[in-house]
Structure 1
Amino acid sequence: MKAKVAVLISGAGTNMAALLYAAKAADCPYELVLVASNVPGAAGLAIAKAEGIATWAHSHKGLDRDAFDALVDEQLRAAGAEFVALAGYMRILSDDFVARWAGRMLNIHPSLLPRYKGLNTHAQAIGAGDSHGGCSVHVVTPALDDGPVLAQTPVAIAPGDDAESLARRVQFAEHQLYPATLAAFVMRERSPDWLRDRVRELAMALPEADEVTSHGMPCFGIAKGKKFAYFTEDHHGDGKIALLVKISGADEQAALIEMDAERYYRPAYFGDGWVGIRLDLGDTDWDAIGEWLRKSWLAVAPKKLAGLMGVAEEF
């Protein structure tokens, strides 16, 4: 199942087109489900329409930033987008919009960040006497061009280069860098190593937690005590990557499976007191996983230790 990506543009959409054509490869892990713009006449919209991609456009003029971003967010969610790629989107995003897509929105910027945030990046690189300009793909955070950098491509500044000639070559680099970086980014949430590390981080943050290997799986418990979680990868050939946590019994297990049979399941050989939660669907709510781990920990924690956690949470 391919990750669903929406792209936001304001103009020609050349980076959007690079993402779109990369997505045509059978082994590309993402697909474009929407191209949206704050400029109804943006040329990139016509490219997307011609290629059969859903489009949406609405001018931001006359709307405050929060109101416009709420409209965009509504369209992204209606399209089923799991990730957002900014591709020449010339709008500063509201903090609320960024928070809604935290960890799921990327941007490509025409400089080697953290150098030259904002505009006129090529002229600044040439004016500073740099040997290279380039481009960066980063995770979007509220601060402009300030999120974690995922990948960069340096582009040599040749003798006689001006901002325009350098920009043309950097654009070639952008079209190579963005699709590859986006593909790697959407795949990480289906990567066993990445998923295991996230579970480990959350589980080991609980009081007196320890990790051992049990039944060939990473297993988390209270030191010298009972186990409260397992990380499973193709356990008994089931093809799933999942977290197993304790629950109250058969009724809760059945209710969870009935609510979402794709995500929840009865783990083999663990009985009614456990439930499996799929982590490899690409849309894991990690706050919810943290809460599942906390509840599972409480189910096995000695009363004194559980009481101390309750006191700590009050503060």
Structure 2
Amino acid sequence: MPDPIRQPAAPKARVAVLISGSGTNMAALLYASRAEDCPYEIVLVASNKPEAGGLALAAAEGVPTFALPHKGMSRAEHDAAMDTALREAGAAYVALAGYMRILTDDFVRSWEGRMLNIHPSLLPAYKGLHTHQRAIDAGDSHGGVSVHLVTPELDDGPVLGQTRVAILPGDTAETLAGRVLFAEHQLYARCLAAWVTREKSPEWLTEQVREKALALPEADETNSHGMACFGIVKGKKFAYVANNHHAGGHVALLVKISGADEQASLIEQDDERYFRPAYFGDNWIGIRLDLGDTDWDSIADWLARSWRSVAPRKLVHLMDVADQF
């Protein structure tokens, strides 16, 4: 029998890793990325220390490297140079893996939602240094590790995953650290993989729409033919989230528009993103959410416009008045 036709593999998310030392967590991320089903690839390993051992390992494995000593440079200048290197490598995400530099707020904000860090404690406990000794001194039953998004405040971003590690009788900071390191190597790759694929996850995409739709006045949610459906309380519907609707194979937002001319214009403008939703007619447009580059401010605008098209005039007037303040 002939071989079945294989669908082209989805492009992997491009990740840069920042290190300052031996790079064991970088190595764990790198080797995990070699699995066929891993959704990310390492495109650069960069460091503020040219002698960092992890750079040699990355180079031996064929991964591009970049090193720039921070001595003699302001923090802002060094961060700007690192940022340039990351972007020239085409990185879409950054993983901090033992990068021993406090980053500037500008650098952090420029990678908001796309930079992860691993910290050897069960955050929010024991931010900063000496985490294992502090856990032992406090008499805790467990230490552990957390993966979190990076925000301007040190070790304070949303936690994406944690693993608890038991503290044994007689443990020292060094023995506990050794076991926590095993957990780090397991957890980081899983959290990174989950994070870079979230923008194609139906659950995550639906939640983003839900948050914006339900922020509109008197909006509520029901379920219609297996789709999350948003409307005015006891009124008309203004949005749906379709997941493989009628075997379309994608996750999309369906919202109301002015008619066939606008529908045709949008599809002509970008026929990968916009489509005519089956059985919804000319007054609706489908907007794909699973392309990985959704502009969520634009989605909020589409929802607001669709809401206005079905909301009672009095309610629209109240919203217009509120928008003036």
TM-score over 0.5 for the pair? yes
Paired letter, 1:14? T
Q: What residue is the counterpart of 1:275 in the other structure?
A: 285
Match of 1:65 in 2: 75
1:187 Cα deviation from its structure 2 partner: 3.0
Q: CA RMSD in A?
A: 2.4
Query: Equivalent pairs: percent with the same residue?
Result: 71
Other-structure match for 2:298: 288
Matched, 1:120 2:130: yes
Classify 1:244/1:95 alpha carbon distance in 2 versus 1 (closer, same or farther; 3 Å): same
- The farther-off stretch of 222-231 and 137-146 is 222-231
Distance in 2, Cα, partners of 1:253 & 1:77: 36
Amino acid at match of 1:90: M
User: How big is the shift at 1:144?
Assistant: 0.8
Q: Which amino acid aligns with 1:6?
A: A
Match of 1:230 among 237, 240, 244: 240
Matched letter for residue 291 of structure 2: L
Question: Is contact 1:4-1:30 (8 Å) kept?
Answer: yes
CA positional deviation for 1:18: 0.3
- AA in 2 matched with 1:133: G
Could you tell me which residue of structure 2 aligns to residue 131 of structure 1? 141
Q: Secondary structure at the match of 2:180?
A: helix
Given the superposition, is the C-alpha separation of residues 34 and 249 from structure 1 closer, same or farther in structure 2, using an over 3 Å criterion?
farther
Partner of 1:26: 36
- Counterpart of 2:117, as a letter, is N
Structure 1: gaps (5+ residues): none
Shift in Å, 1:140? 1.7
| Offset of residue 114 of structure 1 | 2.0
Residues 1:17 and 2:41 are matched in the alignment: no
Is the contact between residue 241 and residue 280 of structure 1 (CA under 8 Å) also seen in structure 2?
yes
- The aligned residue for residue 60 of structure 2 is 50
1:306 aligns with one of 291, 316, 320 = 316
Q: For residue 41 of structure 2, give the secondary structure of its aligned residue in structure 1.
A: strand
Q: Following the alignment from structure 1 to structure 2, what is the Cα–Cα distance between the partners of residues 256 and 78?
A: 32
3-state DSSP of counterpart to 1:151:
strand
Say if 2:47 is the partner of 1:37. yes
Query: Aligned letter for 2:213?
Result: A
> Which amino acid counterpart does residue 276 of structure 2 have in structure 1?
R
Q: Give the structure 2 partner of residue 106 of structure 1.
A: 116
More displaced, 169-178 or 94-103? 94-103
CA distance in 1, matches of 2:279, 2:147: 44
Does 1:239 find its partner at 2:254? Answer: no
Q: Equivalences for 1:74-89 in 2 at 5 Å? A: 74-89=84-99
Please give the alpha-carbon distance, in whole angstroms, between the structure 2 residues aligned to 1:314 and 1:62.
50
- C-alpha distance in structure 1 between counterparts of 2:159 and 2:217, whole Å: 33
Q: How many residues align?
A: 315
How far did 1:310 drift? 1.8
User: Conserved in 2, the CA contact under 8 Å of 1:82 and 1:283?
Assistant: no
Partner of 2:6: none
AA in 2 matched with 1:164: E
Q: What letter corresponds to residue 23 of structure 1 in structure 2?
A: S
CA distance in 1, matches of 2:199, 2:20: 29
Going from structure 1 to structure 2, the CA distance change for 1:108 and 1:235 (only over 3 Å counts) comes to: same
Taking structure 2 as the reference length, what is the TM-score of the superposition? 0.86
Structure 1 stretch displaced more, 147-156 or 105-114 = 147-156
Q: Which moved more, 1:228-237 or 1:265-274?
A: 265-274
Matches within 5 A, 1:210-221: 210-221=220-231
**3-state SS of the aligned residue for 1:137?**
strand
* d(CA) in 2 for partners of 1:220, 1:165: 53
TM-score for both structures, normalised by structure 1? 0.89
Distance 1:24 1:248, change over 3 A: same
- 2 CA distance for matches of 1:212 and 1:40? 56
- TM-aligned CA deviation for residue 206 of structure 1: 0.4
Which letter does structure 2 place at the counterpart of 1:57? A
Q: Indicate how the Cα distance of structure 1 residues 212 and 25 shifts in structure 2: closer, same or farther if over 3 A, else same.
A: same
Deviates more, 1:193-202 or 1:299-308: 299-308
